């Protein structure tokens, strides 16, 4: 496992080689050099592959390789299983790097304990081909958060359906997009709505209380980096119907003023009124 996080736009071949290399070559070398009649061949992969963790396109690709490699080995009549881990609390890379803990929590991943991993490993070393070649663990299924960009992907439709079942009966909430459409024009009210929703979104992304965020300050004052800014940009496109650049979001202008600029460009609001 080697990480070299960067936005896909800025990713070089070297970023990919250093991250994908150990996963691909390490796996392939073991496959080539170990005896063919192994009782088990277990790979630890990451949900970064299936979920697409922000800034980890290179690492994700290495993990997807391992996921498919388990199927490849099985197609050759060989034993194999890959376990896609979300994150482990007390051992390993995430446990040793505090800066990643908030990151994985914000994605909604469930924490795994050593005993969970030991249980999965004992299943894997049983060597039964009755188990799937790829096991994913740590995905949530009983609650949803609109900060989870990955859940909108069609591959997670089954999880969404499960959550829809468990959340039936909760009071319906109205999205910013719907509120702006009802509002219909650029005025103090629509700008207030965008400002409040932006503060709420920022609090979730940065895992801090809303009360600690002052809309008179810029987004950058709260440690928003380019990865988080991409998330804000996507949210603005979806909820306010404006294409805005990461550069504009990172500019040193108060959030309230930014909300006004967005309102004046929103396709949801009547700009003539
Ligand atoms: N920890 C988690 O929460 C988590 C989450 C998702 C997936 N995973 C997966 O679980 C596996 C183990 O992760 P971990 O948390 O135990 O990581 P770790 O503690 O950082 O261990 C990384 C391992 O990779 C080896 N390594 C580092 N650079 C290498 C290179 N260039 N070529 C070959 N090997 C290299 C290290 O060898 P040395 O000891 O010799 O340095 C070490 O054995 C990884 O495949 C990772 O994708 C872990």
Residues 130-174 have pLDDT tens digits of 789 999 998 887 667 777 888 878 888 878 777 776 655 444 567
Cα 22 to averaged position of ligand 1 atoms, centre (Å): 9
pLDDT per residue as tens digits for the range 29-78: 999 999 999 999 999 999 999 999 889 999 999 999 999 999 999 999 99
Does the structure show a pLDDT above 80 at 262? Answer: yes
What integer pLDDT is reported at residue 169 of this predicted model? 46
- Three-state DSSP state, 159: helix
pLDDT per residue as tens digits for the range 81-98: 999 999 998 899 988 988
What integer pLDDT is reported at residue 166 of this predicted model? 61
Q: Ligand 1 in contact with 69 (CB < 6 A)?
A: no
Q: CB pairs under 8 A, 24+ apart, for 144-152?
A: 144/108, 145/108, 145/204, 147/106, 147/108, 147/201, 147/204, 147/205, 147/231, 148/107, 148/108, 149/54, 149/231, 149/234, 150/51, 150/52, 150/107, 151/108
Q: Ligand 1 in contact with 117 (CB < 6 A)?
A: no
Cα 3 to averaged position of ligand 1 atoms, centre (Å): 9
Indicate the domain borders of the chain: 8-139, 176-263
Residue 60 CA to residue 176 CA, distance in Å, equals 32
The CATH H-level superfamily of 176-263 is ACP-like (1.10.1200.10)
What integer pLDDT is reported at residue 98 of this predicted model? 83
What integer pLDDT is reported at residue 273 of this predicted model? 59
pLDDT per residue as tens digits for the range 209-231: 888 899 999 999 998 888 888 88
What integer pLDDT is reported at residue 182 of this predicted model? 87
Residue of the CA atom closest to atom 26 of ligand 1: 1
Tell me the percentage of the chain whose pLDDT exceeds 90: 58
CB atoms within 10 A of CB 179: 17
Residue 140 CA to residue 157 CA, distance in Å, equals 13
Cα 47 to averaged position of ligand 1 atoms, centre (Å): 14
Residue of the CA atom closest to atom 37 of ligand 1: 1
* Closest ligand 1 atom number to CA of residue 18: 31
What integer pLDDT is reported at residue 171 of this predicted model? 46
Residue 135 CA to residue 66 CA, distance in Å, equals 12
pTM above 0.85, yes or no: no
What is 8-139's CATH number?
Answer: 3.40.50.720
Whether 145 and 105 have beta carbons less than 8 Å apart is answered as: no
Which stretch of 100-104, 122-126, 187-191 has the lowest confidence by average pLDDT? 100-104
Q: Ligand 1 in contact with 59 (CB < 6 A)?
A: no
| First CA to last CA distance, the chain | 56
Q: For the chain, what is the mean pLDDT?
A: 89
Q: Ligand 1 in contact with 93 (CB < 6 A)?
A: yes
* Closest ligand 1 atom number to CA of residue 48: 6
Whether 205 and 226 have beta carbons less than 8 Å apart is answered as: no
Residue 139 CA to residue 217 CA, distance in Å, equals 35
Q: Are strands 134-136 and 111-112 parallel, antiparallel or unpaired?
A: unpaired
What integer pLDDT is reported at residue 245 of this predicted model? 93
What integer pLDDT is reported at residue 173 of this predicted model? 63
Cα 153 to averaged position of ligand 1 atoms, centre (Å): 28
Pair of tokens at residue 223: 């440690």
User: 231: number of CA atoms within 13 Å, CB side?
Assistant: 24
What integer pLDDT is reported at residue 35 of this predicted model? 97
Q: Which residues contact 259 (CB under 8 A, 6 or more apart)?
A: 191, 194, 195, 198, 215
Residue of the CA atom closest to atom 47 of ligand 1: 45
Tell me the percentage of the chain whose pLDDT exceeds 70: 94
The torsion angles phi and psi of 264, rounded to 5 degrees, stand at: -75, -10
């Amino acid at each position: 496992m080697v990480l070299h996080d960067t936005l896909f736009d800025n990713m070089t071949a070297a970023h990919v080689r250093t991250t994908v290399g150990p996963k691909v070559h390490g796996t392939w070398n073991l496959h080539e050099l170990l005896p063919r009649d192994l009782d088990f061949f277990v790979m630890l992969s990451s949900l970064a592959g299936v979920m697409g963790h922000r800034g980890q396109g290179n690492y994700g690709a290495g993990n997807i390789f391992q996921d498919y490699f388990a199927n490849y080995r099985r197609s050759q009549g060989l034993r194999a299983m890959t376990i896609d881990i979300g994150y482990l609390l007390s051992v390993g890379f995430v446990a040793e790097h505090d800066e990643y803990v908030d990151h994985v929590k914000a994605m909604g991943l469930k924490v795994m304990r050593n005993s969970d991993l030991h249980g999965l490993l004992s299943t894997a070393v049983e060597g039964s081909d009755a188990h799937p070649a790829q096991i994913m663990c740590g995905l949530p299924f009983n609650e949803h958060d609109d900060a989870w960009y990955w859940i909108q992907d069609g591959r997670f439709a089954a999880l969404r359906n499960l959550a829809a079942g468990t959340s039936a009966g909760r009071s319906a909430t109205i999205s910013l997009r719907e509120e702006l459409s009802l509002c219909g024009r650029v005025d103090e009210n629509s700008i207030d709505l965008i400002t409040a929703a932006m503060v709420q979104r920022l609090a979730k992304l940065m895992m801090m209380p809303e009360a600690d965020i002052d809309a008179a300050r810029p987004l950058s004052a709260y440690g928003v980096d380019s990865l988080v800014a991409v998330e804000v940009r996507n949210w603005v496109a979806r909820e306010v119907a404006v294409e805005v650049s990461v550069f504009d979001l990172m500019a040193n202008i108060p959030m309230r003023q930014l909300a006004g600029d967005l309102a004046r460009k929103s396709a949801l609001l009547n700009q003539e009124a």
